[in-house]
Amino acid sequence: GKIDSVHLLGCEQWGLQPVPDEEVIDLYGGTQHIPLYQMSGFYGKGPSIKQFMDIFSLPEMALLSCVVDHFLGHGLEFDQAHLYKDVTDAIRDVHVKGLMYQWIERDMEKYILRGDETFAVLSRLVAHGKQLFLITNSPFSFVDKGMRHMVGPDWRQLFDVVIVQADKPSFFTDRRKPFRKLDEKGSLHWDRITRLEKGKIYRQGNLYDFLRLTEWRGPRVLYFGDHLYSDLADLMLRHGWRTGAIIPELEREIRIINTEQYMHSLTWQQALTGLLERMQTYQDAESRQVLAAWMKERQELRCITKALFNAQFGSIFRTFHNPTYFSRRLVRFSDLYMASLSCLLNYRVDFTFYPRRTPLQHEAPLWMDQLCTGCMKTPFLSDMAHIR
């Protein structure tokens, strides 16, 4: 399912089949509210709900849905906890044992795009005197082949520090794991690390030694990552780094919200919402009939707008009008977010991004009046039935 900050309705599935809202409410004891303690620990893992937050989540969610659907379709009894554990363990083993890396390395052209724009971004930053570093959980052999494919054979010259198998997010919190140097063949060295050298490869380590050896601290550092918890949360909240989130789905979502169909649907939906809120005080028979028609049309528009993004789940950023829980975490843990690092090519290196002023709830009526009616006053009820 997909949730906003505390609510779960409209996007729930059991296997591959949607679950009616009434069943969801009954399952949660007559409410659509999910207690925060169930939903999330600091890293997105609550006692009864797991958040899927990154690209690795897609095959895990698909596998869980398909296996549940298979069991239901064949009338097989199963314990959800056992199923979840077995699927999660299988996904983890494919990753940890290196099978995924092997499969991708066999066919780079199929799985990894060439990164002409990525190279352009990195080389541009270096040309303007920026110091770059790479911290990844992947092994060096995979990183090297992937970066050669994307950026070129001299990719290591672009980075002042390269750290592999970092074991994020514990890299950011665990002080005990030291850095170790790797040679070209991936063999570990025994010498103590007293400085991080350009052109060398380091394994594991921890952020506290990284800060001590580089003296890169606070808001002077901008760190990009594609996972809110494993990459960005600790760095922003504990260390004061600037953070940028990479959200590939953003490209498609922006394309959709710029379509005429979406803009028309949203504008009329907002207008209906404003009218319903203002005119609900009129309770004569004719007014109630008009209000019911508006309510029905508004609900239809909400479903249409949702389906523009995804028929089952809608936008990853909203559950109807509310921001999703993912969206709220994104805003909390990132200063910037973008579809790709290549988006930076649209801006000068010294460009300053200023925060937008968005209306608070006590400011919203003025903004809504102007958006919905184009004026400061709402027309009389007798005119409302003919507005389209």
Summarize the annotated binding site for Mg(2+) as residue ranges. Answer: 226
Do you know the residue count of the chain? 388
**Residues near 178 by Cβ (< 8 Å), separated by ≥ 6?**
192, 193, 204, 205, 206, 209
How far is the C-alpha of 272 from the C-alpha of 175, rounded, in Å?
Answer: 55
Q: Are 310 and 271 in contact (CB under 8 A)?
A: no
Question: What 3-state class would DSSP assign to 242?
Answer: strand
Nearest to 335, CA basis, from 219, 248, 253, 257: 219
Q: Which residues are annotated as a binding site?
A: 226
* Residue-wise burial string across 23-37, b where 16 or more C-beta atoms lie within 10 A, e elsewhere: ebeeebeeeeebeee
Q: 169 preceded by cis ω (within 30°)?
A: yes
Q: How many CB atoms lie within 10 A of CB 161?
A: 22
Cα–Cα separations (whole angstroms), residue 90 to 64, 87, 97, 102, 115? 11, 5, 10, 16, 31
Cα–Cα separations (whole angstroms), residue 202 to 180, 183, 195, 377? 5, 9, 11, 65
Nearest to 302, CA basis, from 265, 275, 261: 265
How far is the C-alpha of 252 from the C-alpha of 315, rounded, in Å?
Answer: 10
- The two structure tokens encoding residue 173: 């919190």
Strand ranges, E, within 30-128 = none
